[in-house]
């Protein structure tokens, strides 16, 4: 997924690049690097591991004088996380950083090797530098345009050239990249959040639009033709990057949930007309990845209870299915970042078939927010921790409000008004959650069981636990266990029983008894008191709101388990916040 940033202006780029990389670290953090250029020299410094290690290395180096630089933080796709494969990559005069995947890199590499090009790394990225270097004969725009014609795949690139030390170049296809406009200084970055402390003014770049930047300005061309692009002003707050005294972004973002839920309720509860009217659609497809898909599963339960025909799928499958859309179908796309490659492809598939798409996203100006027929912004502010928490809760709340809008009932609004306070009280009971975490943090395997909407909740609880604590955790439909998986239950195996749906409460409780009979240690999370020793009772509220009290509890338990295991909670290994490659 990677994060890239480039700078040209009156300042030495070091501080801009490093502060930018730190804000882009959620996109990948296995290695990083910077490159600086002046008329005599191009200096590259790379490091394995987190940005602070690169910073230590840079502090020990004598940096060249410069006002142009590029930098990168990596989530390895081609070649392991080591210093050679870290970006920037350099061939001949060309040094660049890349976010994306070049699918035909091997065939290009083989051709270039025959032409005598020597490659140092295992990356697909290096072939791009080799191509630009091959095509460069004094005109960078021309060399870049020739190069992108040879490339198949996704790329966001920031490029410098020894022969043009006072210039910076950039181009993108699929992968996100925007141009930041400061006072006599310019930035290219994967995410506006990386430059908010310098400017809020940005330009969105279209596919294969080449940007040439100098100290005095910028030019955008497409196939050599100069084009103008609108300048936007971000409303993101820089302080979203602040921890406000919390030790981790994840716990900070969980504790923000009551206020953010209250804000959305104030915005929509009595102004439902502000939300799209989905009553005309007879069929709803919900698509997302990871936690976003699990948000959709909760939404499926809401809409099915309204009698609507709902299909749901993970985007990486949905995009390759041969779907026959019937008339009156709405495709709902769930995404925090709005830049998840598979979800973008699913959206474009529906758009191409002229099927209405509704995006429920956090990042305004993201590809999914821009290209969907309708969009609802969840207004979570920046979500920095890789494991989503507040975005999940606000996306479920929007689906709940959409369902209530088409199928209102008299109990919903009262419960809705009580929700923020109930959630605050629940999250303040950190002692309870830590006690449950004590039962889990030494375990190798953990299971979650529930039925229908409780199963959807189990899936998110299980993902939160495994992605930040690295404990092997699985969620199962409670009735499914006895068809095989129950053989994994042993003396002391921890099994979370999620029970909020009264219609099937007894069924799930008897499934919990089945695992207890085989030595399992139950942890009961429900909205009615039960006999279990390990339990958290959440207030009983409307079915279409109940997940909003149970999932935060599971988020908090997962946080304390990872905390007790000393895990890197905000940046779990092998993960990235926004998955911009397939
Ligand atoms: C969740 O904690 C993960 N970060 C991941 O599953 C995430 O939900 C998924 O990658 C989808 O991201 P999106 O919401 O930005 O599209």
Burial class (CB in 10 A: 0-12, 13-18, 19+), 327: exposed
> Is residue 471's pLDDT more than 90?
yes
> Quick one: the chain helix, strand, coil %, rounded to 5?
40, 25, 35
Give the active site residue among 2, 161, 289, 567: 2
Q: What is the pLDDT of residues 510-540, one digit of tens each?
A: 999 999 999 999 999 999 999 999 999 999 9
Q: What is the mean pLDDT of residues 402-417?
A: 96
Question: Which pLDDT does position 241 carry in this prediction?
Answer: 67
Question: Which pLDDT does position 243 carry in this prediction?
Answer: 87
Q: What is the pLDDT of residues 131-147, one digit of tens each?
A: 999 999 999 999 999 99
Task: Give yes or no for residue 291 CB within 6 A of ligand 1.
Answer: yes
Whether residue 450 contacts residue 458, with contact meaning beta carbons closer than 8 Å, is answered with: yes
Q: What is the pLDDT of residues 159-215, one digit of tens each?
A: 999 999 999 999 999 899 999 999 999 999 999 989 999 999 999 999 999 999 999
> Is residue 1's pLDDT more than 80?
no
Residue having the nearest C-alpha atom to atom 9 of ligand 1 = 290
Q: What is the pLDDT of residues 278-318, one digit of tens each?
A: 999 999 999 999 999 999 999 999 999 999 999 999 999 99
> Is residue 244's pLDDT more than 90?
no
Query: Which residue is listed with tokens 């279990």?
Result: 532
- For 126-173, the DSSP string reads HHHHHHHHHH-SS-HHHHHHHHHHH--B-EEEEEEETT-TT-EEEEEE
Task: Give yes or no for residue 234 CB within 6 A of ligand 1.
Answer: no
Q: What is the mean pLDDT of residues 394-409?
A: 97
E strands, 433-576, are 445-450, 472-477, 494-499, 521-526, 535-537
Taking CA atoms, 171 is separated from 188, 207, 426, in Å, by: 10, 8, 47
> Is residue 561's pLDDT more than 70?
yes
Residue having the nearest C-alpha atom to atom 5 of ligand 1 = 290
% of the chain with per-residue pLDDT over 70 = 99
CB atoms within 10 A of CB 137: 8
- Is the bond leading into 87 cis (omega within 30 degrees of zero)? no
Residue from 291, 342, 377, 580 whose mutation best tests the ligand 1 pocket (most atoms within 8 A of CB): 291
> Is residue 493's pLDDT more than 80?
yes
Length of the chain: 582
Lowest mean pLDDT among 221-230, 241-250, 383-392: 241-250
CB atoms within 10 A of CB 1: 27
> Is residue 239's pLDDT more than 70?
no
Q: Is 429 a catalytic residue?
A: no
Q: What is the mean pLDDT of residues 406-412?
A: 94
> Is residue 240's pLDDT more than 90?
no
Q: What is the pTM of this model?
A: 0.88
Whether residue 494 contacts residue 523, with contact meaning beta carbons closer than 8 Å, is answered with: yes
d(CA 102, CA 175): 11
Task: Give yes or no for residue 125 CB within 6 A of ligand 1.
Answer: no
What tokens were used for 248?
């981790």
Q: What is the mean pLDDT of residues 370-394?
A: 96
> Is residue 238's pLDDT more than 90?
no
% of the chain with per-residue pLDDT over 90 = 93
Task: Give yes or no for residue 335 CB within 6 A of ligand 1.
Answer: yes
> Is residue 235's pLDDT more than 80?
no
d(CA 186, CA 216): 9
Across the chain, mean pLDDT equals: 96
Q: What is the mean pLDDT of residues 378-385?
A: 93
What tokens were used for 432?
């309870």
């Amino acid at each position: 997924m990677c994060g890239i940033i480039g700078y040209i202006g009156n300042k030495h780029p070091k501080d801009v690049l490093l502060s930018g990389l730190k804000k882009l670290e959620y996109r990948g953090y296995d290695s990083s690097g910077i490159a600086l250029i002046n008329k005599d020299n191009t200096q590259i410094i790379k490091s394995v591991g987190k940005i602070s290690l690169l910073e230590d290395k840079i502090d020990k180096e004598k940096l060249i004088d410069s006002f142009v630089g590029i930098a990168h933080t990596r989530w390895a796709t081609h070649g392991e996380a080591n210093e050679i494969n870290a970006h920037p990559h350099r061939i001949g005069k060309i040094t660049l950083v890349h976010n994306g995947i070049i699918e035909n890199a091997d065939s290009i590499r083989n051709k270039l090797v025959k032409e005598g090009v020597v490659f140092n790394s295992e990356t697909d990225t290096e072939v791009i530098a080799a191509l630009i270097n091959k095509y460069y004969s004094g005109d960078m725009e021309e060399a870049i345009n020739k190069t992108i014609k040879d490339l198949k795949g996704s790329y966001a690139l920031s490029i410098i050239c020894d022969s043009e030390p006072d210039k910076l170049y950039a181009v993108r296809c699929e992968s996100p990249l925007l141009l930041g406009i400061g006072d006599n200084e310019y930035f290219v970055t994967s995410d506006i959040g990386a430059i908010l402390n310098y400017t809020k003014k940005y330009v969105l770049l279209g596919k294969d639009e080449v940007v040439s930047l100098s100290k005095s300005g910028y030019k955008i061309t497409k196939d050599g033709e100069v084009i103008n692009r609108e300048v936007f002003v971000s409303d993101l707050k820089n302080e979203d990057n602040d921890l406000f005294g919390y030790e981790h972004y994840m716990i900070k973002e969980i504790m923000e949930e009551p206020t953010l839920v209250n804000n959305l309720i104030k915005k929509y509860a009595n102004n439902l007309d502000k939300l799209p009217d989905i009553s005309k659609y007879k069929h709803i497809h919900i698509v997302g990845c990871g936690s976003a898909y699990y948000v959709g599963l909760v939404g499926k339960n809401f809409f099915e209870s309204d009698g609507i025909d709902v299909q749901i799928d993970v985007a990486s499958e949905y995009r390759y299915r041969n779907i026959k859309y019937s008339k009156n179908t709405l495709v709902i796309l769930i995404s925090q970042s709005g830049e998840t490659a598979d979800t973008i492809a699913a959206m474009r598939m529906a758009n191409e078939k002229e099927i209405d798409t509704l995006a429920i996203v956090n990042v305004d100006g993201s590809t999914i927010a821009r290209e969907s027929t309708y969009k609802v912004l969840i207004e979570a502010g920046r979500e920095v921790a890789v494991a989503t928490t507040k975005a999940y809760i606000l996306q479920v709340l929007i689906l709940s409000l959409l369902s209530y809008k088409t199928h209102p009932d008299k109990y919903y609004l009262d419960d809705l008004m009580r929700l923020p306070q109930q959630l605050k009280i629940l999250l303040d009971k950190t002692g309870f959650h830590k006690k449950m975490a004590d039962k889990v943090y030494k375990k190798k395997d953990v299971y979650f069981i529930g039925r229908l909407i409780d199963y959807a909740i189990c899936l998110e609880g299980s993902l939160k636990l495994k992605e930040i604590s690295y404990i092997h955790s699985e969620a199962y439909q409670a009735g499914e266990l006895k068809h095989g998986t129950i053989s994994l239950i042993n003396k002391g195996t921890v099994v979370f029983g999620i029970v909020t749906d009264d219609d099937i409460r007894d069924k799930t409780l008897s499934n919990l008894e089945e695992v207890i009979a085989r030595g399992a240690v139950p942890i009961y999370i429900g909205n009615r008191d039960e006999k279990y020793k390990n339990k958290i009772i959440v207030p009983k509220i409307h079915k279409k709101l109940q997940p909003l009290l149970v999932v935060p509890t599971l988020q908090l338990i997962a946080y304390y388990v990872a905390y007790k295991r000393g895990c890197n909670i905000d940046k779990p290994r092998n993960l990235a916040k926004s998955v911009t490659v397939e």
